[in-house]
Structure 1
Amino acid sequence: MKTNYQKLFQDYTFKSGVYVKNRLMMAPMTTFSADENDYVSQEELDYYKERANGVGTIITACAYVSKSGKGFDGQMGIDHDGTIKGLAQLVEGIHSGGAKGVVQLYHGGRLAVPRLIPNEETVSASSIAPLEDRGFYSITQAPRALTTEEVYGIITDFGEATRRAIEAGFDGVELHGASGYLIQQFVSPHSNHRTDEFQNPSLFSLKLINEVKKVIEEYATKPFLIGYRFSPEEPETPGITMKETFSLIDELIQADIDYLHIATTDAWAKPRRGIVSDKSRTECIAEYINKRIPLIGVGSVHTPGDAALILEKGATDFVAIGRALIVDPHWVEKAEKNEADTISLQLTKNDQRQAVIPTPLWKLILEIEGWFPVER
């Protein structure tokens, strides 16, 4: 193995006791491929199992914890006990390859898709409409502000989802506090104009962590992770800047979780505002954390060299691989065998079966120009 790749394949044990075989993770990516009941589909089972032999950890596509929080067509649910059977099959496939399985817990808030939720009524920290189109859907309607009681109800939903994850056999949960979804909507000065206790921007996140910990204490019979994914900045003004992010990081570290996971499409993008630095956001965050908690870097990882650079220059502890692992399910094994030159860096129109990509996801890959590298 090339010397600069060796660190990618060092093992690690988190403070909760969860052991992972290397520093590479599969990033959480929406598949749009659950069945008509929002249960895990056979295509999803095949997709994750094919990618489980290399990475140390698979973080699944986000699963909604409440009916009011569904944000994607074909999104899997973890909102009732009927979902447990399929989730158990999913994690069994992940474990069969030697990877650990973490399910990402999600509520879309004001970015839930109206036609997919009860009464088409979106909810959020406050009744502030989204300013920008983010992702696959254009959501412009103003949400209804959650009552204090309803906020506590959603906290309970995250706890119940954690119980289901434990019963299904997962090794942890990741709270989706990024990409403008509900958890971030409480953190953001743009979307949180509350006057109750939840006007404190970090309180919702901290209450969620506390609830998840209580559930783990009651139900887990083996070590179990809590991770938190965050977007370091927002485009809105007012909005989250690096200054707010550093404050949130301190609170999350104090809450004693297992890891933090940056959400960014480019690991080397510079900060927009809040601090002045010539370094990337990844480097600034890693420097601020100063090894107080494990950090996952992500964004524009195409080759093993890209991943190694994030660990070295970016000073993160882990690297999450996204689209590159969809393009080549065996990216990690090839890197470990020093066969990086055989890694596929683009898809052809005939690669769906070979790459084991679910049909709904495959259709979008072909439809959306520039999203994936596809030879046309």
Structure 2
Amino acid sequence: MSQLFSGFTIGSLSLPNRIVIAPMCQYSADEGKATFWHQIHLGHLALSGAALMIVEATAVSPAGRISPRDLGLWDDDTHDALADVVKHIKQHSPIALGIQLSHAGRKASTHVPWEGGKNIAPNDGGWQTLAPSDIPYASTDFPPQVMDQNDISALKADFVAAAKRAEHIGFDVIELHAAHGYLLHQFLSPLANHRQDNYGGSVENRIRLTLDIFHAIREAVSKQIAIGVRISATDWVDGGWDIEQSVVLANALKTQGCDYIHVSSGGLSAQQHIPVGPGYQVPLARRIKEQTGLNTIAVGLITEPEQAEAIVGTGDADLVALARAVLYDPRWPWHAAVKLGAKVNGPRQYWRCEPHYIKDLFLKE
């Protein structure tokens, strides 16, 4: 029996298999509002057979957007636009839906990737970015503003308000984005955080903001909603955030009732040296799972069904997340089920596509 296609539970959410669609920024929103692009993009991935789809990094405030085209969830308009997308997906797919709540910090106010992705200064149509310290991501970037206690309090309130909107929309999972060099990761890493207050210095201080926001969200939403955190387990830079500190954070999150940890890496420093290769981040997920017992999602160049099966089957991680692989092949879970002799959810409208030499590919109960 395939372990990849066995059931799993995070919090009170039961999943029919271990396949997750990772959050992937689309840079296609209108002043933070979801558009028809999100309807078709998320809609067709919702038919993939994956158990859980996590919507892209969604800014909790306008200043928290990576680019002017980023998705947001900070007011009634952004709530209503995304709610319309979610409503239609839930009408046609049993997939569980998550949302990744985020603030980009010093990596905000940039052009979209296909326009170069460079920082946009406030006087060129961008906005003032925020960060734990006045250290820009790139030396050519407009310097970020150091966050004071009022800024931090406002940030916590923004995350809580967005989480409540996510619950009202009907999301099953909320993921807190503390990876890839964005604001919470900036507070975690000593490369970006040079503060002298209780949010800087020791690892216990640097993890404080992530823990505070996690706790505030957990208190603000229903216990039926699973809450997890995505981290970069290492900066891949000497003297930066690393796997040992990630284990400290993961253990602290576990004591607060975290339902899972989604283990990525990098994104904080241009000096990073990443040993990219198939499954290159899986050892990081395995280390955290072994030392904390948290439910763990592995991600990063997981492209083959047999590879995903081995990750779950050997206990390296509890779930596997696909990003680029599922953009390339939106029916990846179907094809994986064929290779692994399993069954997968598929819409009735598509059942007749089942190849004649394959019996009972789709779950039809």
User: Structure 1 116/47 Cα, relative in aligned 2: closer, same or farther at 3 Å?
Assistant: farther
Q: How does 1:1-376 map to 2 (within 5 A)?
A: 3=1, 6-15=2-11, 17-34=12-29, 36-53=30-47, 54-95=49-90, 96-113=92-109, 115=120, 120-130=127-137, 140-199=141-200, 200-216=205-221, 220=222, 223-264=224-265, 268-269=279-280, 280-289=283-292, 292-313=293-314, 315-338=316-339
Q: Distance in 1 between matches of 2:170 and 2:121?
A: 28
Give the alignment's TM-score, normalised by structure 1. 0.78
Give the alignment's TM-score, normalised by structure 2. 0.80
Please give the secondary structure, in 2, of the residue aligned with 1:198. Answer: coil
Offset of residue 259 of structure 1: 0.5
Is residue 267–residue 297 contact of structure 1 (8 Å, CA) maintained in 2? no
User: Structure 1 330/23 Cα, relative in aligned 2: closer, same or farther at 3 Å?
Assistant: same
Q: Distance in 2 between matches of 1:181 and 1:7?
A: 34
Matched residue count: 314
User: Structure 1 94/316 Cα, relative in aligned 2: closer, same or farther at 3 Å?
Assistant: farther
Offset of residue 281 of structure 1: 2.5
Gaps of at least 5 residues in structure 2 are 110-118, 266-275, 342-365
Equivalent position amino acid for 2:96 in 1: K
Please give the secondary structure, in 2, of the residue aligned with 1:249. Answer: helix
Please give the secondary structure, in 2, of the residue aligned with 1:192. Answer: coil
Equivalent position amino acid for 2:85 in 1: L
Offset of residue 178 of structure 1: 0.2
Equivalent position amino acid for 2:56 in 1: A
Offset of residue 99 of structure 1: 0.6
User: Structure 1 206/266 Cα, relative in aligned 2: closer, same or farther at 3 Å?
Assistant: farther
1:128-151 residue CA offsets vs partner (Å, 9 max, x unmatched): 22258xxxxxx6332111001110
Is residue 267–residue 310 contact of structure 1 (8 Å, CA) maintained in 2? no
Q: Distance in 2 between matches of 1:78 and 1:61?
A: 12
User: Structure 1 58/247 Cα, relative in aligned 2: closer, same or farther at 3 Å?
Assistant: same
Q: Distance in 1 between matches of 2:15 and 2:121?
A: 36
Q: Distance in 2 between matches of 1:101 and 1:116?
A: 35
Q: Distance in 2 between matches of 1:266 and 1:202?
A: 29
Q: Distance in 2 between matches of 1:44 and 1:98?
A: 18
Gaps of at least 5 residues in structure 1 are 133-138, 271-278, 341-376
Offset of residue 266 of structure 1: 5.0
Offset of residue 10 of structure 1: 1.3
User: Structure 1 266/145 Cα, relative in aligned 2: closer, same or farther at 3 Å?
Assistant: farther
Is residue 289–residue 295 contact of structure 2 (8 Å, CA) maintained in 1? no
Is residue 282–residue 314 contact of structure 1 (8 Å, CA) maintained in 2? no
Is residue 283–residue 313 contact of structure 1 (8 Å, CA) maintained in 2? no
Is residue 31–residue 68 contact of structure 2 (8 Å, CA) maintained in 1? no
1:171-227 residue CA offsets vs partner (Å, 9 max, x unmatched): 1210110001000111111111222222211110111011101210xxx4x710111
Q: Distance in 1 between matches of 2:300 and 2:311?
A: 9
Q: Distance in 1 between matches of 2:126 and 2:338?
A: 53
Is residue 266–residue 298 contact of structure 1 (8 Å, CA) maintained in 2? no
Is residue 267–residue 282 contact of structure 1 (8 Å, CA) maintained in 2? no
Please give the secondary structure, in 2, of the residue aligned with 1:9. Answer: coil
Q: Distance in 2 between matches of 1:303 and 1:100?
A: 23
Q: Distance in 1 between matches of 2:80 and 2:294?
A: 33
Equivalent position amino acid for 2:59 in 1: Y
Give 4+ residue runs of structure 1 displaced > 6 Å after superposition: 116-119
Offset of residue 14 of structure 1: 2.1
Offset of residue 314 of structure 1: 5.7
